[in-house]
A and B are shown apart, each in its own frame.
Chain A
Amino acid sequence: MPSSDRANPSRRAVFAVCLLAAVSGACASVQPWQRARLADPCMTFEANAALTAYASHWQESREGSSGGAGVQGGGCACK
């Protein structure tokens, strides 16, 4: 059965995200004219969304874990 000790990593993760959100405003601000390389599609996390969604789909049908790519629909086609 789950123990509170095992759930601690997720609590630490939530805390880390909240902390990053709180301090992110203090991070160095990159101006629009400095964003040339940031604008490249290779720097976008959602650049290959269709490929990422398919990869998540077949990996979830083979592995016991899931998540980390936003909420998704169900169904597995994994019999």
Chain B
Amino acid sequence: MPANSGSRSRLPFRLGLTAGALATGALFAMVFAPTFGRKSESEDINIFFHGFQDSRGVTVLSPTVDLTKDFTDRTSLKAKFGVDAISASSDSCARCHPDGIRSARAVASATLNRKYGDTTVGIGGEFSQENFYRATTLSTSVSRNLNKGNTTIAGGYAFSLNQPVLHPSEFTERQYAHDAYASVTQTLTKTTVVQVGVEVAQIRGYQTSPFLRAALNGVLVPGNSPDLRNRYTFSARIKQALPASTYLDIDYRRYHDSWQLDSNSFGIGLSRHFGDTIVASGAVRLYDQTGAYFYAPSYTGSPLYYTGDFRLFPFNSDLVTGRVVYTPKDGLFGMRPGSALTLQYERYWTTRSFDAAIFTGGITIPFGRKAP
């Protein structure tokens, strides 16, 4: 694949971007962790590094830093900064850039939560910028504990303004997304918790990928998708504590949208404690989706809508995940007790001859007076 050679040639760029993001995270940790001394039950900083490599030769390196900080007993802040450094942005880019093309995405978000008795209200925002795409999101959320903490109801709303650039032209399109969700989490027994939720989203505006080409009358051309898409998601999860410090996690998601794309996602996982310091987990996810109603392998004549977007094709996929979390009693690498090392490996296959390997490594550092 042409993208491979290009990806190797840009290693200094990727390492530079990654090193910069990791340095930012480390600086974040060094500067803030020692000074956050107020009482807290969940203040921590997560510094993770994700590596994604797929069968097209595309590599995405994504360092992220997440911070949770309590300012008072009732007010907390969650902040996130992340980068995607992309070695070669898919077959569509390789068509015009046979030696590969570097791409990057930076994302920053912050959410402020405040408690009012058993109710928590949150407000937040996120901004992401990549070479030819900008997204700005504002969100609100509310949750309330009921029934002596055995029931939690939650809801939220977000508005996003997405601005793709129709590369290679300089013209920018606009897309408006409204997204609302509601969920109920219920403790059923001393060992069982369930959660069900619904999410409804409406996306208006330009929704065609300018980079993915459809075969129309034998010629590869940019697609043309409808300007309105309504999306509906139902999800259900159950967590069951089993004997021998083992925990079962089952989840199901049903999705339907107004482009007639339907999908089912089923996941099952097990986690087990090994002593006081290690938690090992394994999970499997099975996924299937139908194609959008205007999907076809190729088009003839003058169809109103046509697409070359692989996300609108019918396919199945499997995902296998293995994870180990190591939390030494005396702290990790001299850090304070409660600090943990996470290592995760995932393997993803689809029926469209696409597969990927995803590696994640990271550390969690608690801080604050009540940190363990």
Spell out A's residues near B (CB within 8 Å). 1-2, 6-7, 9-10, 13-14, 16-17, 20-21, 24-25, 27-32, 34-35, 37-38, 40-43, 45, 49-51, 53-55, 58, 61-79
Once bound together, how far apart are the Cα atoms of A30 and B241, in whole Å?
14
7 interchain residue pairs of minimum CB distance:
A74-B135, A73-B126, A75-B128, A67-B233, A10-B232, A13-B234, A68-B235
The minimal Cβ–Cβ distance linking A54 to chain B, given in whole angstroms, is 5
Interface string of B130-156 (1 = CB under 8 A from A): 111111110101000011111101001
In the complex, what residues of B have CB within 8 A of residue A77's CB? 60, 84, 86, 103, 105, 130, 133
Given A6-B260, A65-B255, A75-B162, also A28-B188 (CB < 8 A): yes
Tell me if A73 and B241 are in contact (CB < 8 A). no
- Give the residues from 134 to 189 in chain B that come closer than 8 angstroms, CB to CB, to chain A: 134-137, 139, 141, 146-151, 153, 156-158, 160, 162, 177, 179-189
User: Distance in Å from the Cβ of B134 to the closest Cβ of chain A?
Assistant: 8
Whether a CB of chain A sits under 8 angstroms from the CB of B4 is no
Q: How far is the CA of A62 from the CA of B287 in the complex (A)?
A: 12
Known contacts A37-B241, A38-B187: does B254 contact A51 (CB below 8 Å)?
A: no
List the one stretch of B26-34, B197-205, B216-224 in contact with chain A.
B197-205
Residues of B near A76 (CB, < 8 A) are 133
The reply on B250 being an interface residue by CB < 8 A is no
B75 in the interface (beta carbon within 8 A): no
Any A CB within 8 A of the CB of B120: no
Q: Does B59 contact A (CB under 8 A)?
A: no
Binds A, one of B8-16, B45-53, B329-337: B45-53
Residue B93 interfacial (CB < 8 Å): yes
- Max chain A Cβ within 10 angstroms of own Cβ: one of B257, B279, B281: B257
Chain B residues contacting A13 (CB-CB under 8 Å) are 198, 232, 234, 254
Q: Does B268 interact with chain A (Cβ within 8 Å)?
A: no
A37: B residues at CB distance < 8 A? 190-191, 241
> Would you give the 0/1 interface string for B97-137, flagging 1 where the beta carbon is closer than 8 Å to chain A?
00000010101010000000000000000111111111111
Please determine whether A40 and B241 come into contact, CB atoms closer than 8 angstroms.
yes
In the complex, B256 has a CB within 8 A of chain A: yes
Separation in Å of the A41 CB from the closest CB of chain B?
8
Contacting residues of chain B (40-67) with chain A, CB-CB under 8 angstroms: 46, 48, 50, 52, 60, 62, 64, 66
> Is B358 an interface residue, CB under 8 A from the partner?
yes
Is B347 in contact with chain A by the CB < 8 A criterion? no
Q: Is B190's CB under 8 angstroms from A30's CB?
A: yes
Known: A14-B198, A70-B156, A77-B103. A54 touches B360 (CB 8 A): yes
The reply to whether B263 and A63 form a contact with Cβ atoms under 8 Å apart is: yes
Q: Do A43 and B239 touch across chains, with their CB atoms under 8 A apart? A: yes
Residues of B within 8 A of A28 (CB): 188-189
Chain B: which residue is nearest A71 at the CB level? B158
Assuming the contacts A45-B195, A65-B263, asked whether A24 and B133 have C-beta atoms less than 8 A apart, the reply is: no
Docked-complex contact A9 and B254, CB < 8 angstroms: yes
- Asked if residues A10 and B256 are in contact (CB atoms below 8 Å), the reply is yes
- A25 in contact with B151 (CB, 8 Å): yes
1/0 contact trace for B319-361 toward A, CB 8 Å?
A: 0000100000000000000000010101010100010101010
User: In whole Å, how far is B325's beta carbon from the nearest beta carbon of chain A?
Assistant: 9
Contact A54–B64 (Cβ < 8 Å): yes
Pair B135/A75 contact, Cβ less than 8 Å? yes
The answer to whether B362 and A70 have CB atoms under 8 Å apart is no
Q: How far is B64's CA from A8's CA once the two chains are assembled, in angstroms?
A: 39
For A20, list chain B residues within 8 Å (CB). 184, 186, 196
Alpha-carbon gap, A57 to B242, bound state (A): 31
